[in-house]
Structure 1
Amino acid sequence: MEDFKHFVVALSAAAAAGVVSIILVLRWVLYYREGLAWDGGLAEFNWHPVLLISGFIFLNGVAIIVFRLPWTWRCSKLLMKFIHAGLNVAAFICATISFVAVFDFHNNAKIPNMYSLHSWLGLAALLLFSLQIVLGVIIYLIPITPTSWKAAFMPLHVFVGRFLFGSVIAVALMGITEKLIFGLSNPKYKDSPPEATFVNVLGVLLVAYGVAVLWISTRISWKRPNDLLLHTLHASGGGEDDSRVGPSLSQLSDKTDAEVCAEVRKRSNKLDDQTN
């Protein structure tokens, strides 16, 4: 992997921000709020931020960058697809339970549902996320799907995944701010009590996690080697004449990660020479 040290720094930053965010949201609901329970009260509502941050945000972020982990490059692409899908399904389950907790609490407390922009955007994100999972499974995990469909859908699949990840973080920031405004009365949120400062730090960590995950997922040099090779050939216009440049993809798949990366650079240089 190129810039491996930079990758480790970015990955460590993402892991630290994500894990600490989960710890802080648990600390928030257990120390400042009413704890966790499933009784229709405020303690049930608290499952909403806990499951959203630990599932819908953290697990979804892991699913986005799991292909970039060089320690998984020896695993088959199909296995990694199942891991990617499994993480996203787990994130969806966590998000769904968190929504059930909110609706159950609102119904018991006679509070209207779906009246805020936070709730609108949150439900829209959940519905789009479920559609993303269904289409992803149909197109990439069912063997009969034509390869041309997979290639055509991939840019949209990647874009929507990153868009939803960033959107969920933005909606979560709206939600925790809304909770502080409604939940703090003496002193109020504007008076910056310790709980407000604590949760603001949580929000900053969520943003940091999102930035780190998106940075890792958008660096082309950190893709799996075979994916990088395909990108190089496509960008250089060498798809038709790839036999003149080097060995076939099937031959590359038998090489080690270091050899494949070296072959990628070699092919890229030869393609540049041909187009100059």
Structure 2
Amino acid sequence: MPGLNSLEDSGNLRGLPWMLAISQVAGIAMVVMIGVWLNTYLGGFAWDGGPKEFNLHPLCMICGMVFLYGEAALVYRVFRNSRKLKVKLIHAGLLFLAFFAIIIGLVAVFSFHRANNIANLYSLHSWCGITTVIMFCFQLLLGFLTFLFPGARSSLRSTYLPIHQFFGGAILVLAAISSISGINEKLFFVYAKDPKNPDKVTYPQLPGGAVFGNVCGLVVVAFVFLILFIIQRSEWKRPTDPEEEALSIHFRRVVSQGSEDSG
């Protein structure tokens, strides 16, 4: 009965708007707090080869790999009743915005290292980070070819979908790990004890910048946990649309027939 199904769906979705709202508050707070931390305690931003240029790296990576990537994961929960192609395009658009933010963040850190004769990719943070970026790029490419490319078969899509979903969550977890390890690494660099200046404030004494940085890391973890909680709830997933699947199959048949006729 359609009316009964509607009531059941309404009951299952009762907590979704609240969780989405909380996740958005956490995500916006995360981006704002990272910006404030870098601007207030670490000198701000510039493209000059110095520490201010480095500050663009954590800002862009968290905006791209955590916030925008997390927002892209929520698209299918937010637009549950919109046309699937529209939702796919929004999902892909957010991922491509994340990709551009990641590129800027990587260029900033490598440019800073080159200008200051610092080795690249030597820390555990950098290894986790570059692994996350590589996985993200493969996820973006394979997702585009499988779910947006018109010639992809429905059997391929259904087979790859659970793999895509698993690695989507795994990449978000790796992004969180890379972010909090990067924040911690930066705090050690900034507040490490200087043997030549014993009176310098150190990390264990928790100056304001260290406290704020630690809180930023906790907010990153909270945002990622909220995203994972929302996307793993089966009752909040977008319902399948048999009509859209039938249109997709018909479209592929038309394309295939056109190719045969042109041949």
Partner of 1:26: 35
3-state SS of paired residue (2:121): coil
AA matched with 1:78: L
Deviation at 1:114, TM superposition (A): 0.8
The aligned length equals: 230
Q: How does 1:156-167 map to 2 (within 5 A)?
A: 156-167=163-174
In the TM superposition, what whole-angstrom CA distance separates every residue of 1:99-137 from its partner, at most 9, and x where no partner exists?
A: 110010011011111110111111111011001100110
Cα distance between partner residues in 2 of 1:178 and 1:147: 45
Partner of 2:232: 218
AA matched with 1:121: C
Partner of 1:2: 11
Cα distance between partner residues in 2 of 1:154 and 1:250: 19
Q: Would you say the 8 A contact 2:41–2:209 is kept in 1?
A: yes
Partner of 2:243: 250
AA matched with 2:158: A
AA matched with 1:40: G
Aligned equivalent of 1:175, options 142, 162, 182: 182
Cα distance between partner residues in 1 of 2:11 and 2:99: 33
Aligned equivalent of 1:203, options 207, 217, 234: 217
Q: Would you say the 8 A contact 1:36–1:44 is kept in 2?
A: yes
**Unaligned residue ranges in structure 2 (runs of 5+):** 1-9, 193-199, 247-263
Cα distance between partner residues in 2 of 1:173 and 1:196: 13
Deviates more, 1:8-17 or 1:202-211: 8-17
Partner of 2:20: 11
In the TM superposition, what whole-angstrom CA distance separates every residue of 1:163-210 from its partner, at most 9, and x where no partner exists?
A: 001110111100000000011142111111111111111111111101
AA matched with 1:80: V
AA matched with 1:27: V
Runs of 4+ in 1 over 4 A off after TM superposition: none
Aligned equivalent of 1:194, options 195, 204, 208: 208
Aligned equivalent of 2:83, options 69, 76, 88: 76
Deviation at 1:251, TM superposition (A): 10
Change (3 A) 1:193 1:225: same
Partner of 2:56: 47
Change (3 A) 1:88 1:154: same
Cα distance between partner residues in 2 of 1:172 and 1:224: 30
Matched, 1:38 2:43: no
Cα distance between partner residues in 1 of 2:17 and 2:159: 32
Sequence identity, in percent? Answer: 37
Cα distance between partner residues in 2 of 1:164 and 1:61: 10
Q: Would you say the 8 A contact 1:2–1:222 is kept in 2?
A: no
Aligned equivalent of 2:73, options 49, 58, 64: 64
Deviation at 1:226, TM superposition (A): 2.1
Cα distance between partner residues in 2 of 1:252 and 1:172: 38
Deviation at 1:252, TM superposition (A): 11
Q: Would you say the 8 A contact 2:84–2:244 is kept in 1?
A: no
Partner of 2:128: 121
TM-score (norm 1): 0.80
Q: Would you say the 8 A contact 1:64–1:213 is kept in 2?
A: yes
**Unaligned residue ranges in structure 1 (runs of 5+):** 228-248, 254-276
3-state SS of paired residue (1:39): coil
3-state SS of paired residue (2:15): helix
In the TM superposition, what whole-angstrom CA distance separates every residue of 1:232-267 from its partner, at most 9, and x where no partner exists?
A: xxxxxxxxxxxxxxxxx33999xxxxxxxxxxxxxx
Deviation at 1:5, TM superposition (A): 3.5
Cα distance between partner residues in 2 of 1:147 and 1:5: 32
3-state SS of paired residue (1:226): coil
Deviation at 1:90, TM superposition (A): 0.9
Cα distance between partner residues in 2 of 1:75 and 1:222: 15
